[in-house]
Structure 1
């Protein structure tokens, strides 16, 4: 049975249990009665996380059940949820059956053995002979393309607060879905947005796999796919996004010089016609890469350029990045860059400002800001304050499974334990508890 039909049946059962007719459910979630009927029959897909959340609240069902994660990924543990938003819920089950596979194992099997073949199919869907490979091209209309683009925007926004293990599978599913629609068979006005959606989902998967899950090999495969698609459709926005993501992968992988090369290429790509917010973001990425190579002048000039762009007019309808970039994020970049340069006291006001201004839903960004401020406090000799921010970072790691932050907290605690303070000991205990919980859920190698 098609996955869309399974999802539709589950929504219909949930609606009937609540005693609602299709029109009433439509009113509750802000859609038409016709839309509800088409979703329940599996005629149109439901892949939007935000819409699944709305339905889960109305129907008293989990998002994972609605989106049929148990069918898509039968060996993967599911996210426990009961009437709350997924961002506020514990990210994974804390107690798996002893013989259950870890989610990391599932990801590696599914996305290394199966999904790389799926990426090959995605390449094939763009090839000139794609028409010859299928006798009947899939039917695509503007409504479907618009729905997919809305879904993509929802998933990219979800990066702010959703765990990587929830988002990587759905991003990959979207790539497969676009591939099945044979973009090369479609007219230009539909082919380009379809491929843009594919590139955005590839970028999302690449960043999650690289920074959150620490799997550079898989991340590079998705990044390569996304960049090829971005070049295929000549999108400065997506080329800049993919190159900026590669900068982080190279730098965090131990090649800061390569990271700077990618960041400067991202700046150049953005200058060829990307949105203003994307241009601002690429300059901020360049500032971090300059700081990582100990180039203070490069860091300050790049960050100044980023803020100059942010202060001007925005064209946000063109934004194709992941999550968001604004002045609060620029402050976070500034504090982290100063930290990399060893300017601990100077970094603290910028990180204070970032944490004060980052929205409560921006869990990932708050997580990295807290660990950066913890490291700055430690460098400045403020042990208790460093531990306090370390605790805040670990609380967020437990929700979003940000492996890079977990690694940094581990290094911080090893430094602070020489102080032999009770605060450092408590941070060590919290670290062990967090690692144990995530390991039980298969989120830590």
Structure 2
């Protein structure tokens, strides 16, 4: 019996009791027997699929991340950040990964229930000419469709976890998924399975890139993962993947001090999405373009792009094709509108949109709420509502501490520098909170 199974069982039992459910009632809700629920709660049996974990989470009103105890599984995972002065590849780089058998078994355990995957090695010694994503190894057996489907389902759960899970834990998860897919030798699989494995690989590369760039501030490694994802997108001719990676590039470039370059990437993402991506991806890329337009001072571009995003979201969706990170809906479109108006200097006009976004964003969307709060804080500051700006700055920092979103920390720091001349109790308190949060994130990075 694994210790992690006991932890999962305790969390399920606690969640069931809080909901006032008996074991047979929970069993009925998830399609299992009372005795099975009892065995899971005692840690004797395990949840046998990610789909069952999602059913359990829905029945108990919990997140899949919490039920599967990701905070325990990944609390001590090593995340080595490459030094800017070093010319050697980081051990966590996609170009240099561990090859020992013990590490391979750990990757398999972390990947939850993947069935029988014999010969897992998790080694990447070099990239293939095709998609720069496959390792030249002796041919082995093919992977069955059920295993690949489950792997993709796990990846979708990890991408959804971006809404609320700490960056320093999710990056190793994405990295391990890349190791796992590589060990399955996609180039040796039948075409449909090969392509599905490569899509999963690109999605995990995109997740790692976004976390490294916006949350952990490691732009060099973020670029490596983006390159990996984009090579796969081109290899497969996938509009969904190309739009996802190009949209991420837009943020990376704009936040790096090149708003015009960010707009170019955003428009390329829109063009890629229009060639056959899901409707939600098309909506998201237009929202990204709206932000990039506002960063360059183009009011018309901002308005037209955001209107297109809302139009796409208002019709029937094809979400089985969504390959994006976390989620994008009308509440997030409201947040984009408010943030865009702040960038355009129209602070009073931005406040209603941000109020609506914060009210409508679901509680588990911690990163999205985090950025909405700092945008509203900036809007309040621009409208000379000092205390309201400080209050929202505190709210943003509380969420930064949970998800490690360093880009928001940077924005709150700038906000405080602009407000500190008021010398109020609120501005002093915000300054102390900034220091505390910076120390907390530094400590978390050292522990990782």
Short-chain TM bin: 0.7 to 0.9
Q: Does the CA-based 8 Å contact 1:410-1:431 persist in structure 2? A: yes
Q: Distance in 2 between matches of 1:275 and 1:51?
A: 25
Residue aligning to 1:88: none
Any gaps of 5 or more consecutive residues in structure 1?
1-7, 77-102
Cα contact 1:121–1:179 (8 A) shared by 2: no
Task: Decide whether aligned partners of structure 1 residues 107 and 173 sit closer, same or farther in structure 2, where only a CA change above 3 A counts.
Answer: farther
CA distance in structure 2 between the aligned counterparts of 1:219 and 1:243, rounded to whole angstroms:
13
Instruction: Give yes or no for the alignment of 1:275 onto 2:278.
Output: yes
Map of 1:63 onto structure 2: 69
- 2:410 corresponds to 1:407: yes
Q: Which residue matches 1:151?
A: 154
Change (3 A) 1:281 1:122: farther
**Structure 1 residues 373-382 or 61-70, which shifts more?**
61-70
Q: For 2:168, what is the secondary structure of its paired residue?
A: helix
Out of 368, 387, 393, which is 2:371 matched to? 368
For the 8 Å contact 2:354–2:376, the answer to whether it is kept is yes
Deviation at 1:192, TM superposition (A): 1.2
Is contact 2:247–2:266 with CA below 8 Å preserved after alignment? yes
Residue 227 of structure 1 pairs with residue 195 of structure 2: no
Structure 2 CA distance, aligned partners of 1:46 and 1:123?
30
Q: Confirm or deny: 8 A CA contact 1:183 1:191 kept in the other structure.
A: yes
Q: State the aligned residue count.
A: 399
Distance across 1 between alignment mates of 2:134 and 2:242:
24
Confirm or deny: 8 A CA contact 2:278 2:319 kept in the other structure.
Answer: yes
Alpha-carbon spacing, 1:233–1:261, altered in 2? closer, same or farther (3 Å): same
Question: Residues 41, 51 of structure 1: CA spacing in aligned structure 2 closer, same or farther, 3 A cutoff?
Answer: same
Which is bigger in relative contact order (C-alpha 8 A, separation at least 6)?
1
Aligned to 2:332: 329
Does structure 2 retain, via aligned residues, the 8 Å contact 1:397–1:403?
yes
CA distance in 1, matches of 2:378, 2:290: 19
What whole-Å deviation, never above 9, does each CA across 1:301-356 have from its counterpart, x for those lacking one?
11111111111221111111111111111111111111011111111111111101
The Cα of 1:282 is off from its aligned counterpart by 0.5
- Are positions 1:173 and 2:176 aligned together? yes
Change (3 A) 1:258 1:312: same
Deviations, residues 369-411 of structure 1 (Å, cap 9, x unaligned): 0000000100110001101100100110110111010011111
CA distance in 1, matches of 2:353, 2:384: 18
CA distance in 1, matches of 2:28, 2:446: 35
Q: Cα–Cα, structure 1 residues 114 and 337, in superposed 2: closer, same or farther, change >3 Å?
A: closer
Deviates more, 1:268-277 or 1:187-196: 187-196
What is the distance in 1 between the residues matched to 2:364 and 2:132?
Answer: 43
Q: Secondary structure at the match of 2:243?
A: helix
Distance between the aligned counterparts of 2:89 and 2:44, measured in 1?
Answer: 29
Deviation at 1:188, TM superposition (A): 1.4
For 1:36-115, list aligned pairs within 5 A: 63-64=69-70, 67=73, 70=76, 73=77, 76=78, 105=81, 112-115=90-93
Distance in 2 separating the partners of 1:198 and 1:270: 19
Within 5 Å, give how 1:168-207 maps onto structure 2: 168-207=171-210
Q: Is the 1:364–1:396 contact (alpha carbons within 8 Å) kept by the matching residues of 2?
A: yes
Cα distance in 2, alignment partners of residues 251 and 126 from structure 1: 30
TM-score (normalizing by structure 2) = 0.78
Equivalent-residue separation in structure 2 for 1:375 and 1:437 (angstroms): 23
Please give the TM-score of this superposition, normalised by the length of structure 1.
0.79
Distance in 2, matches of 1:205 and 1:31, equals 35
Query: Which runs of structure 2 are paired with 1:361-400 in the superposition (5 Å)?
Result: 361-400=364-403
Q: 2:443 aligns with which of 401, 417, 440?
A: 440
Deviation at 1:117, TM superposition (A): 2.2
Deviates more, 1:166-175 or 1:416-425: 416-425
CA-CA distance at 1:118 after TM superposition = 3.9
Contact 1:246 1:259 in 2 (8 A): yes
**Structure (1 or 2) with the greater helix fraction:** 1
Distance 1:393 1:31, change over 3 A: same
Q: Tell me how far apart the structure 2 counterparts of residues 63 and 164 of structure 1 sit (CA, whole Å).
A: 15
| Alignment match, 1:124 | 128
Q: Which residue of 2 aligns with 1:99?
A: none
Who is 2:302 aligned against? 299
Mapped partners of 1:325, 1:422: distance in 2? 37
Offset, 1:135: 2.9
Deviation at 1:138, TM superposition (A): 4.4
Match of residue 350 from structure 1: 353
Q: d(CA) in 1 for partners of 2:92 and 2:376?
A: 40
Cα RMSD over matched residues?
Answer: 3.9
CA contact (8 A) 1:125 1:184 kept: no
1:206-232 CA-to-partner distances (Å, cap 9, x unmatched) read 000011111110000000000111111
